[in-house]
Chains A and B, each alone.
Chain A
């Protein structure tokens, strides 16, 4: 009893001390590079082009064009996240089974160090009418297809960009998984699917969640790909903000869209954290 108490006291002290120590640079960062910019954005969102205080920007957001934009942004972000997860999870799983798994993991990341614009140009060439992909389609008898400037090409290239960001956290979660648990599950007669659903998936959920966070949120504000690969047939909130800031120079409207983007993001984060608690609860029950 006494020992427990002591331990509790020490533990609390430990936490508080390490908290205080590690808090300084991080808090400084939050104040300077997060709170200050948000403050600026919120501030600008209340001004019109001639610098007068106004709520018009917010009113403007609820006109049909921007609402439609928001809905389509969410739809594409959802698609991109879904397919990224679908491809990344098995990849991460198979990677953990390899002999030199850390090396293979690095090899997944290396392609993302080559400039994105260049890779996008490469995709334009690869997917072009005279590119290798269409040549392949022709030899197998499907015939030439317009691949570029379609929903497919947009989602495909976006998934390509985000895959490493999704694989890493999932790989880390899977790698930690105790193989004994899987064996135990098998021994208890569970088939592969049940083992996955009941054992592997719940235990790697945290990794999946951070994967979703790092894909879904940036996917809402993708911009260059929308033009180069989708030919502006897909437009995201990010594209609209970019335009307002750079072309129209209407910082007020751009900031207003950004405010909504940030609000959406907070909602998404709160939803995932609420889930986290719920999962932990049900996990215990099991």
Chain B
């Protein structure tokens, strides 16, 4: 680090600044009494008060979070299994075919995914609502998990498994003690990206949801015609502060005792 001098710090600061600039912009105007995202008039909390008064909005936010968490969790589980399946496939042609299929959902435009899922759900007779939205979010998040986990599996040297086998490990042990710990970073990456996919999706959700169930994205997009209100800005600000707070809090709670030791090692 020292060898590189200040360059890395400046570079990272610049990257973070750009990443967070639009978010701070949104939050800044959530305090605007002017009612639009320009010409800051004066400071107000009224948009935040509006968030808490709007029960429908709160229900929608909770729906969004539940779908995101569950779909990310389940798609990560299935995606990890899928990655293992693909990785240990002997037949190369088959393997390539599987890989291509895996990625098709990533390139298909949302409208097509949404429309075809809708047809599928109505054919099978799944009621449109929470279940259909959850299922589709799981479906379109799986490929990203596979793509995040596969490289980790490829890095893992086969001798690791051989060694475990020589030591008398069972299949289950190999899975839980060797493979999974090794690919853990890939699993986390997959989970967080699946979460991102779910939170951002508009078109697919719009198609497959029935009445009585909506997510934040659908709500925001449908406001576009008459303009998004600053209540949504305030809500985003709240969501941002809460998630950042939770993550920071969790991180420091779980890492506090270890940190000094780690620092020493360097």
Chain A residues in the interface with B (C-beta under 8 A) = 3, 7, 10-11, 13-15, 17-19, 21-23, 25-27, 29-30, 32-38, 40-41, 87, 90-91, 94-95, 97-100, 102-104, 106-119, 121-123, 125-126, 128, 130, 132, 160, 163-165, 168-169, 171-173, 175-176, 206-207, 209-210, 213-214, 217-218, 220-221, 223, 238, 241-242, 245-246, 251, 254-255, 258, 261-262, 264-266, 269-270, 273
Nearest 7 A-B pairs (CB), nearest first? Answer: A22-B81, A122-B22, A26-B82, A37-B116, A206-B151, A94-B8, A33-B139
Binary flags per residue of B165-202, CB closer than 8 Å to A gives 1, else 0 = 11000010011000000000110010011011001101
Known interface pairs A94-B8, A245-B115. Does A102 touch B251 (Cβ–Cβ under 8 Å)? yes
Report chain A residues within 8 Å CB of B259: 99-100
Task: Offer 23 A-B interface pairs, CB within 8 angstroms, sorted by A.
Answer: A7-B166, A14-B161, A18-B175, A19-B88, A26-B78, A26-B81, A30-B102, A34-B104, A37-B112, A91-B15, A94-B8, A95-B12, A106-B251, A109-B196, A114-B240, A118-B26, A119-B26, A128-B38, A206-B155, A214-B106, A241-B112, A261-B107, A265-B100
Minimal beta-carbon separation of A163 from chain B (angstroms): 7
Report chain B residues within 8 Å CB of A214: 106, 144, 147, 193
A125 to B40, CA, bound (A): 12
Cβ of B253 under 8 Å from chain A: no
Known interface pairs A100-B251, A110-B243, A169-B151. Does A115 touch B220 (Cβ–Cβ under 8 Å)? yes
Q: Which B97-130 residues have a C-beta within 8 angstroms of A?
A: 98-113, 115-117, 119-120
B116 touches A168 (CB 8 A): no
Residue of B nearest to A6 (CB): B165
Report chain B residues within 8 Å CB of A13: 171
A55 to B32, CA, bound (A): 56
Choose among A3, A111, A171, A264 the residue with the greatest number of B CB atoms under 10 Å from its CB: A111
Choose among B25, B79, B150, B217 the residue with the greatest number of A CB atoms under 10 Å from its CB: B25
B37 touches A125 (CB 8 A): yes
A269 to B142, CA, bound (A): 17
Report chain B residues within 8 Å CB of A33: 105, 117, 120, 139-140, 142
B104 touches A11 (CB 8 A): no
Cβ of B57 under 8 Å from chain A: no
State the main secondary structure of chain B at its contact with A.
helix
A99 to B260, CA, bound (A): 10
B100 touches A269 (CB 8 A): yes
Given A14-B161, A114-B22, A172-B185, 14 other A-B residues pairs in contact with their CB atoms under 8 A: A14-B171, A32-B139, A37-B108, A87-B15, A98-B12, A99-B259, A109-B193, A110-B240, A112-B199, A114-B23, A117-B217, A172-B152, A176-B185, A262-B104
A213 touches B103 (CB 8 A): yes
Residue of A nearest to B174 (CB): A14
Cβ of B44 under 8 Å from chain A: no
A115 touches B200 (CB 8 A): yes
A165 to B196, CA, bound (A): 10
Cβ of B46 under 8 Å from chain A: no
Minimal beta-carbon separation of B139 from chain A (angstroms): 4
Cβ of B63 under 8 Å from chain A: no
Task: Give the contacting residue for B96; candidates A21, A102, A116, A270; CB below 8 A.
Answer: A270
Report chain B residues within 8 Å CB of A119: 22-23, 26
Choose among B78, B140, B189, B195 the residue with the greatest number of A CB atoms under 10 Å from its CB: B189
